[in-house]
Chain A
Amino acid sequence: MERIDKPQVPPPNYLVWAILTTIFCCLPFGIVSIVFAAQVNSKWQVEDYEGAKHASRNAKIWAWVSFGVAIAGYIIYLTLILLGVAVGFWTDAFNW
């Protein structure tokens, strides 16, 4: 008879990274990551180990998406500044 052993520890929920990207970064994708972190914990509790692992992967992916978008945004922003375009663009477009 096949038996699935209970793994010793839950898969990482990446909640720390979700919080980092949500509060210390600038884009709200980290919230998606928090949602998946919640799923890791709740699925682990009801002994859905595969589901918990899957949620763990998603939590990781979305933390990276949030981080990546922020970095990409910053690189674009820096490029615009270096091109001397940003100043005029932001002041004109948004009346800063």
Chain B
Amino acid sequence: MHSTGNLPTGLKIGLFLIVAGIASLFFFLDPEEQRLFPKCVFHSVTGYYCPGCGSQRAIYSLLHLNIPGVVSNNFLFLPGMIVVIYGVVLPAVNRKFGVNYPNFLYYKWTPLWILIIVILFAVLRNLPWYPFSLLAPGS
């Protein structure tokens, strides 16, 4: 789970097909209009936005190269994606080239900072006042 370096080829191809399939769904169908896409359970039950709300619309926007759309639907989407790509690519580079670049995800304070940012984001995006209201999905 930590890396994809040791997965069997069949599984890799399967994963690739699944990701490609989901990506094309998100490209051709607008989550705003389709009932096929799940509504966030947390939002349906509580009426509040969680840190993940707006991500499906953000994926749709990203696939249509609509960067302002990505940011307005989920402010943490792009930073989160960059961190995830970093976390996957850096260990792969270290392994492949036999180097040992330090991984900042393993620094002592990194997870705590991420935790603080995510919780702050979850709270602030539910405040109804400007400018916090900008953090709600789609605004």
Contacts and interface: CB of A to CB of B under 8 A. Distances in A.
Give the contact-size bracket for chain A: 35 or more
B106 A41 contact: yes
Contacts of B25: none
Chain B interface secondary structure, helix, strand, loop or mixed?
helix
Contact of A25 (B35, B52, B77, B83): B52
B107 interface: yes
A12 B2 CA distance: 7
Interface in A39-80: 40-42, 44-45, 60, 73-74, 77-78
Contact of B42 (A10, A27, A41, A77): A27
A24 B87 contact: no
Contacts of B88: 16
- Which of B39, B55, B106, B122 is most buried by chain A, counting CB atoms within 10 A of its CB? B106
17 contacts: A10-B106, A13-B111, A16-B84, A16-B88, A19-B80, A22-B80, A23-B76, A24-B55, A25-B52, A26-B52, A28-B42, A34-B111, A38-B115, A41-B106, A73-B38, A74-B38, A78-B36
Given A22-B52, A41-B109, 16 more contacts: A13-B111, A14-B2, A15-B110, A16-B83, A16-B84, A16-B105, A23-B77, A23-B80, A24-B77, A24-B80, A26-B42, A27-B40, A27-B42, A28-B42, A77-B39, A86-B35
